[in-house]
Amino acid sequence: MREITLARQLGEVALAIAIAPLFTGWIAQCRAWMQNRSAPPLLQPYRMLRKLFQKDVALATEASPLFRATPYVLFGTMVLAAAIIPSLATDLPFAQAADAIALIGLFATARVFQSLAAMDIGTAFGTMGARREMMVGFLAEPALLMVMFNAFLLYGSTALPSLVDGYAAHPALIDPSVIFAAIAFLMVLLAENARIPIDNPATHLELTMIHEAMLLEYSARHLALMEWASSLKLFNYACVGFALFFPWGIATHGVDGTGTLLLAIVALLGKLAVAGAVLALIESISAKLRLFRAPEYLAIAFLLAVLGLLVHLLLGANTHA
């Protein structure tokens, strides 16, 4: 039994690592369709990674060990996050090691390491990107935490698997606060993953870039790991969103068997396909904000999340705990 759960845990992580670039590719494809361009092949991110892994690293002479370690740390944190988030099943042995707050801490660890690495070479762009990333981060993180608090008030747990189990036990529990939380979460997802209202993943324009500015000095396998980590991050955020707001199909505690697991995989793929299309739609119809509008955007996300909490408490909904 223990071996099975462990195997399932490892399988889930392996699946996350494998299909994260596919999700990024799918968003790019949807975006191209909506913008009436011919789309790159769906497997383009994998080809990109293969190319990068084959190249030699061109490392700046000033680079310190911190700079070289960061791609691995970033990849490690994102893989660990994938192990915590119940994307297929809630019976995850690893999820006991970290709850939703620790997950946010994990994302923060990745952000801090990435920013520090960007400052390491000492070019103007790197530091600027680090500063902007930290700015977006420190505004987005509280909003995300408030979304998690809202989930805690509903289901009485900060452990993500328990949230999904709680939803399965009371599927009719629809709270108005969830809608606020969901909108706030979507806004945070876009901001944290360098998506359009805040950052544009497809640009290298000096004055606007955030995420790309931090990657400027990276090349070859280091860059490949960073890119892989950022697609894993997007995948993880999507899975957190599914677990919090659309936990249909995730194999809950005690419901085992190959059938449910296969169903969970199909459900996950379906949800990812829809989520990718929605993200592409949002990116296609919205324009990038000026950098100093970003705090306003994130403040709205934060306020929505807090409003969700207040709505929940005001309505005095049946707190589960």
Residues 38-57 that bind another protein (CB under 8 A): 53-54, 56-57
- Residue 43 or 97: which CB sits closer to another protein? 97
Window 220 to 259, contacts with another protein (CB under 8 A): 221, 225
- Residue 71 or 276: which CB sits closer to another protein? 71
Q: Which of 45, 63, 92, 53 is nearest to 232 (CA)?
A: 45
Contact region for another protein (CB under 8 A) — 135-143, 193-201, 256-264, 280-288?
135-143
> Site for another protein (CB under 8 A): which residue of 5, 33, 39, 142?
142
> Site for another protein (CB under 8 A): which residue of 5, 127, 260, 284?
127
78 contacts: CB under 8 Å, gap ≥ 6? 110, 229, 232, 233, 236
DSSP conformation class of 35? T
Residues 58-97: x where in contact with another protein by CB under 8 A, - otherwise, as a string: xxxxx-x-x-----xx-xxx-xx--x----------x-xx
DSSP conformation class of 30? H
What residues are paired with 89 via a beta bridge? 251
Window 194 to 213, contacts with another protein (CB under 8 A): 206
Any contact of residue 120 with another protein (CB under 8 A)? yes
Q: Is residue 105 helix, strand or coil?
A: helix
Rounded to 5°, angle at Cα 200 from 198 and 204: 130
How many angstroms separate the CA atoms of 160 and 102, rounded?
11
In the complex, least distance from residue 7 CB atom to another protein, rounded to whole angstroms:
16
Window 154 to 173, contacts with another protein (CB under 8 A): 156-159, 162
In the complex, least distance from residue 258 CB atom to another protein, rounded to whole angstroms:
26
Is the separation of the CB atoms in 151 and 173 below 8 Å?
no
> Site for another protein (CB under 8 A): which residue of 34, 131, 245, 269?
131
For residue 152, CA distances in Å to 13, 43, 125, 273 come to 25, 38, 40, 28
